[in-house]
Structure 1
Amino acid sequence: MKNAYKKRIDEANVYDAAIKTPLQKQENLSNRFNNNILLKREDLQPVFSFKVRGAYNKMANLSKDELARGVISCSAGNHAQGVALAAQKLDCKALIVMPSTTPLIKIKAVEGRGAEVVLHGHTYHDAYNHALEIQKKESLTFIHPFDDPDVIAGQGTVAKEILADCPDNIHAIFICVGGGGLIAGIAAYIKAVRPDIKIIGVEAQDADAMTQSLKANRRVLLENVSLFAEGAAVKQVGEENFKLCQEYVDEMIVVSNDEICAAIKDVFEDTRTILETAGALAVAGIKSYIKKNNIKSETLIGTASGANMNFDRLGFVAERAEIGEERETVFAVTIPENPGAFKSFCSLIGSRSITEFNYRFSSHSSAHIFVGISVRDFQESQLLIKTLNDAGLEAIDLTHNEVAKLHLRHLVGGHAPEAENEVIYRFEFPERPGALSNFLNNMGENWNISLFHYRNHGADIGRVLVGIQVPPNEKETFQIFLSQVGYPSWDETGNPAYKLFLGN
C-alpha cells in the first residue's frame, strides 16, 4: 500500500495553489531541550494551513464535467479555505457548508476566495449531513476533508519536502491528528522511502479518536469531543486514514490543553508567529516525547499545521501557557486565622514571584488562600508544597484542576451555608444563541441555581460552572436532565477546590 501511495504523492499536483514551505530550526527550543528541533512551516501556506494541498490535489484530478458542475464540502475553517482557494484557481464553483457557530473571520476568509457559504446546524456533523443532502440534489462533487486517497496524497507532499530539505538522520516526525489525512499521507511516504524514521501522531486530550482507535484495533466513535484544538476535533477518524495509520504509525501521544498553550508560546518565542491550537499539537508532542524518553542530540521534526487563530483566544492561551510549561503552580493553602499567620506564609514562599493571590475568610480558626506562584519546574513545585506542609500548613496542588483554573480564580463570593443539597457540575455549552435557554428549559422547576460562572474564551464552546440544589430523592431525575440537555458535563461536587472555597 505504501508504494502505491508513494506513487500517488510523487504525482500529486499541489503547487498551483500551495507553496513549498520552509523547514525551520527552532533555536530556543532546540537549546532548551538539547535536540535539533525543526518545524515544517505549513502555517505559511496562502490559507495558513496545509489543507490546501489535499483540496487542490483532489480537485485537480476531477474531470472537466465534474469541475463544471461544481464542488461542495463542509468545514469549520481550514479545509473550507483550502477548497475555496482551489476552486478559485480552477475556476470552479464551490459551496461550503459551515456550522452556524463558525467565527465570522473564517466565514469572511472563505467568501473572500469566491466560495458560497451556507450556515447550517451547530456542529461539524450537522454541516456534514446537510452538505451530503445538497450534493445529491445538485449533483456536486463532495470534497472530503480527510477520508479520500487524493486528499491524503496531497497532504503527503509535506513528507517529500521534509526529506528533500533534511536528508540527514531524522529520529522522528511528529504530526497533528484530527481526521488523519496529514499523518496518513506523511506516514505512507516516509515508510516507503525511510522506514527507519519514526512517525508519531499527536492528539489533544478528549479529542483522541485515533489513539483510541489504534488501541481498540477498530475505528472508535467518540461520544463527545473537546473543541479546544478545534482544527483537529473529530469524533471518528477516516476509514482509509485509519488503515494507513495501523500500518505505518509508530506511536500516538495525547497532550493537555495547557501543554498546547505552552507550545504556542514556544513557537512564538522562536518565530514571532502565533499558531492555532491544533497547529501547535506537534510541538507539544515533541516536548512530551523528549521528557518521557530522555531524548538527547536527535533531530525531531514537527508539523506546524496551521495559524488560523481567533484573536479572542489569545488571553486564555497566555493565561495557561506558564502552567503548561510547568513554570507556574497553583495551590490552595489553609492558614490559621491569627495574627502573623499570613506573614509566616509569605516567608515560606520566599523570593518567588506570586502570579495570583485570592484570600477568603473561612472561619475564626482558619482562612483559605488561592495562590499562583512562578517556579522553575515541576520539581520546585513539589518542593514548595512539601515546605508548606512541613510547616503545618495544609497545601493542595490545584495546577491540574480544571475547575480551579477555569472558574475558581475568577469567581467572587465564598461559602454558601444555606445552599442545601448543592451539586456542582462543569459543562461545555455550545457558543450559540439559545444554549442557556435550552439548559434552563430542560431543568427541573424545583431546582434552584445556586452558582453560575461562564467565561468566553473565543472558542466554539463556553465553559460553564453551575451549582444546582437537587434534593437526594431527585438524583435520578437529575441524571435524566443531564442526558436530555445533551451538553458534555462533569460532576465536580467532590472537587477539593470547590470544597475549600465555595462549598457549604
Structure 2
Amino acid sequence: MPQKYIEKILRAKVYDVAIETPLDFARSLSERLQNSVYLKREDLQSVFSFKLRGAYNKMSLLDADAKHHGVIAASAGNHAQGVALAANRLGIQALIVMPTTTPEIKIKSVRSMGAEIVLFGDSYSEAYAHAQQLAEETRRVFVHPYDDPDVIAGQGTVAMEILRQHTAALDAIFVPVGGGGLLAGIAVYAKFVRPDIKIIGVEPDDADCLNRALQAGERIVMEQVGLFADGVAVKQVGAEPFRLAKKYVDEVITVSTDEICAAIKDIFDDTRSIAEPAGALAIAGLKKYVERGQISGQTLVAIDSGANINFDRLRYVAERAQVGEHREILLAVSIPEVPGSFLAFCKLLGGRSITEFNYRYFDPAMAQVFVGISSSGLETDRATIIGHLQAHGFPVTDMTTNDLAKEHIRYMVGGHAPCELNEIIYSIEFPERPGALLKFLLELGGRWNISLFHYRNHGAAFGKVLMGLQMPQTEQRAFEQCLHGLGFVYQEATDNPAYRLFSGGMR
C-alpha cells in the first residue's frame, strides 16, 4: 500500500546528514525550451549526490545488534560515499567493496570517511557478488543501493521537498534511473500527493534496464550496459523499484551519450556547476520530451542527481556536447582531387563554420575528407546540409551518430593502409587498471598480428580501443572467446563505414 511508503518517507531520518537542496530555476534553458525548467540540486549534498539519503535512513533504523556487526556495501562511487558518511555519523563500522577499476579519487573519498575498502573484480557485478559473500561470512548488514524499502523511502524525501518548494502548477518530474530506487521513492510520494504530475524516468539508451523490463512485462538482465553514465550502469532494475514503477511511473525516456553531454553543458550554462553524466540524465530526457512533443508553457522539474565526475572526462564531454545539441554535424565527403574543389565545397556551406577538417592524399581521383560543420541546433538542419551537398555532386556519408567515427576515426585520419591487409576490426572496452593491456597481449600470445590500434582514455573506469587483427575468419571465434574470457565488452566493426572510408587497406 502506498500509505506505508508515505509514512516511511515522512519519518525518514535523512536530515541528520542531508540538506534540503534548492529547487533552482534554469533561466537559460527555460528561455530556450519555452517552458519553466527547474533543477533539484542534489549535487549540492555533502557527498555531491542524493545517495546519502537512502543509506542513512536504512542504517539509522538498524537495531543494536546489527549496528554492532557493522554494514557492508558494493559501489564504485556515490552509494559508497553515502554509506561511508552515514556509518561515520552513526558510529557503525562500514566495509565497502569497490571494483579494482574505481578511480583513486573515489577510493580516497570513501576511506577519508573512515570506511574500510576491499577492491575486488573489474565490474560492479563482481564487487556486488563478493560483498554478498562477505556479508554472510561476517554477519554484516548489506546496504543495497536501491532495492530496499528503507533506502527507497530515504530517496523519496526528494519528492517531498520538491512539492513543498513548488506549490504551484507542476506538469512533470524527470528522474534518472539506474536500479530505480530514486525513481520509485519520488513516484510513490508524488503520485500520492499530486497524482496529476507526470513521473518520467530517464535512462541511457545503452543501459535501459527499466525500459526493457516494462516492455517485457518482467525484469530482464541486460547482457552488457554502456558505461559512460557509470552512476546508472545497472544490468537489472531492482525488484521493488520495478513493482512501484509499474504502478506509478508514467513513461521512460532513453537518451544517447551525446544528449547527456549536451545536458551537462546546459546545467553548466545555468548554474556554473558540472554534473556527472548520471546527474545530467534527467535534463537530457526533459529536453527530448519537449522536442518530441513540441511542449511549451509547462513547468518541468529535473533531478540533478550528482556531481562526482572525474576532471579528465571533461574533454570527452565537451567534444560530444556540440553533436548532442545538434550544433555540429560530422560528415565523410568525397571531393574531386583537383585544384579548387575545397573552395567549391566551402562556398556551398555559405556562412557556416567548419569545425574540423581531416584529410590525407590517397586516391588521385577522389579525396575522402572527414569534416565537422556548425549547425543551427535544429535536428532538420543535418538533412538540409547533406541534401544540399549531394545535389551539387558531393557524395556524403553521415557520421554524426557513428560512435566509431566520433571516438576513434576523427583522431586517426591520416591515410589508408598501403595494401589490403585482410584485417578484422574490433571495438573493445578495456578496464582502466594497471596491467590490463599487458594481460590482454599475453593472452593473445602472438597468435595474430595487430595491424591497427587506437586507444583514448576518457577518464572513466573503461577505455575504448579500436583494434585491427590480421586473421582468417575461421579464427574469429577463438579470438572472441579470448575476449569473453577476459571479460572485455567488444563489437566487430569491420563493416563500419568510418573505418572503410578512412582507415581500410587499399583494394
TM-score, structure 1 as length reference: 0.97
After superposing the two structures, state which structure 1 stretch, 150-159 or 100-109, moved more.
Answer: 100-109
Identity among equivalent positions (%) equals 57
Following superposition of structure 1 onto structure 2, how do residues 178-197 of structure 1 map, counting pairs within 5 Å?
Answer: 178-197=178-197
3-state DSSP class of the match of 1:361? coil
- 1:498 maps to 499
Aligned position for 1:155: 155
Contact 1:442–1:484 (8 Å) recurs in 2: no
Tell me which residue corresponds to 1:303. 303
Mapped contact 1:449–1:466 kept (Cα < 8 A): yes
Higher alpha-carbon deviation: 121-130 or 317-326:
121-130
Q: Secondary structure at the match of 2:500?
A: helix
Equivalent position of 1:380 in the other structure:
381
Following TM superposition, by how much is the alpha carbon of 1:444 offset from its aligned partner in structure 2, in angstroms? 7.2
Q: Does 1:429 align with 2:427?
A: no
d(CA) in 2 for partners of 1:418 and 1:220?
A: 46
Are positions 1:371 and 2:366 aligned together?
no
Give 1:443 deviation, angstroms.
3.3
CA, structure 1 residues 489+42, in 2 after alignment: closer, same or farther (shift >3 Å)? same
What aligned pairs does 1:316-395 form with structure 2 within 5 A after superposition? Answer: 316-377=316-377, 378-395=379-396
Instruction: Please list the CA deviations of residues 292-337 of structure 1 after superposition, one character each: whole Å capped at 9, or x if unmatched.
Output: 1111100111100000010010000011101000001111111111
Displacement of 1:270 in angstroms is 0.2
Give, as a single letter, the amino acid of the residue that structure 2 aligns with 1:273. Answer: S
Answer yes or no: is 1:99 the counterpart of 2:69: no
Alpha-carbon distance in structure 1 between the residues aligned to 2:161 and 2:484: 48
CA distance in 2, matches of 1:307, 1:132: 28
Distance 1:456 1:85 in 2: 30
- Asked if 1:399 is matched to 2:397, the reply is no
Q: Does the 8 A contact of 2:413 with 2:502 survive in 1? A: no
Opposite residue 410 of structure 2, the aligned amino acid is R
1:169 positional shift: 1.6
Greater Cα offset, 65-74 or 47-56: 65-74
2:57 maps to 57
Kept in 2, the 8 Å contact 1:17–1:52? The answer is yes
* Cα distance in 2, alignment partners of residues 463 and 51 from structure 1: 29
Q: Which moved more, 1:374-383 or 1:301-310?
A: 374-383
Question: Which residue pairs with 1:463 in the alignment?
Answer: 464
Instruction: Map 1:93-492 to 2 at 5 A.
Output: 93-377=93-377, 378-443=379-444, 445-492=446-493
Offset of 1:484 from its aligned partner?
Answer: 3.4
State which drifts further: 201-210 or 273-282: 201-210
Moved more, 219-228 or 273-282: 219-228
Q: CA RMSD in A?
A: 1.4
SS in 1 for 2:360: strand
Letter in 1 for 2:80: A
The 8 Å contact of residues 97 and 128 in structure 2, kept in 1 or not, is answered as yes
SS at match of 2:89: helix
> Structure 1 CA distance, aligned partners of 2:72 and 2:480?
40
Distance, in Å, in 2 between the alignment partners of 1:105 and 1:419 is 45
Give the AA of the match of 1:358: N
Contact 1:23 1:38 in 2 (8 A): yes
2:275, 2:308 within 8 Å by CA — same for their partners in 1? yes
Give the partner amino acid of 1:261. C
Relative distance call for 1:473 and 1:74 in structure 2 (3 A) is closer
1:188, 1:422 → 2: CA distance? 54
1:74 aligned onto 2:81: no
Q: Which piece of structure 1 moves more, 451-460 or 488-497? A: 488-497
Deviation for aligned residue 1:445: 4.5
Moved more, 444-453 or 348-357: 444-453
Aligned residues of 1:267 and 1:273 also touching (Cα < 8 A): yes
Q: How far apart, in 1, do the equivalents of 2:389 and 2:211 lie?
A: 39
C-alpha distance in structure 2 between counterparts of 1:485 and 1:418, whole Å: 32
Secondary structure of the 1:474 match is helix
3-state DSSP class of the match of 1:382? helix
What secondary structure sits across from 1:360 in the alignment?
coil
1:446 CA drift (Å): 4.3
Partner letter of residue 286 of structure 1? L
| C-alpha distance in 2 between matches for 1:476 and 1:307 | 41
**Amino acid paired to 1:162:** I
Give the C-alpha shift of residue 479 in structure 1: 4.3
Partners of 2:95 and 2:450 lie apart in 1 by 44
Cα distance in 2 for residues equivalent to 1:131 and 1:96: 8
- Cα 1:219–1:409 change in 2 (3 A) is same
| Partners of 1:497 and 1:398 in 2: CA distance | 7
Answer whether contact 2:358 2:413 (CA < 8 A) is retained: no
| Shift in Å, 1:417 | 4.0
Structure 1, unaligned runs of 5 or more: none
Secondary structure of 2:359's aligned partner: strand
Helix, strand or coil at the partner of 1:297: coil
CA spacing shift, 1:94–1:473, aligned 2, 3 Å: closer
Asked whether the 8 Å contact 1:100–1:119 carries over to 2, the reply is yes
Partner of 2:12: 12
**Whole-Å Cα distance in 2 between the matches of residues 200 and 236 of structure 1?**
18
Give the stretch that moved more between structures: 257-266 or 441-450: 441-450
The letter of the residue matching 1:421 is N
Structure 2 length-normalised TM: 0.97
Return the alpha-carbon distance in structure 1 between the equivalents of residues 305 and 54 of structure 2.
13
Decide whether the 8 Å contact of 2:25 with 2:38 is kept in 1: yes
Asked if the contact 2:360–2:413 (Cα under 8 Å) also holds between the matched residues in 1, the reply is no
Aligned equivalents of 2:23, 2:244: Cα separation in 1: 25
C-alpha distance in 2, partners of 1:87/1:212? 35
1:458-489 CA distance string (max 9 Å, x none) = 00111011111222443444444444343222
Conserved 8 A contact 1:149-1:240: yes
Q: In the alignment, is the contact (CA less than 8 A) between 1:470 and 1:478 conserved in 2? A: no
Aligned residue for 1:247, secondary structure, equals helix
Segments of 5+ residues of structure 2 without an aligned counterpart are: none
User: Once the two structures are superposed, what CA deviation does each residue of 1:31-85 show, in whole Å capped at 9, x if it has no partner?
Assistant: 0000011111000111110000000100110112221221111110101111111
Q: Say whether the 8 Å CA contact 1:419–1:469 is kept in structure 2.
A: no
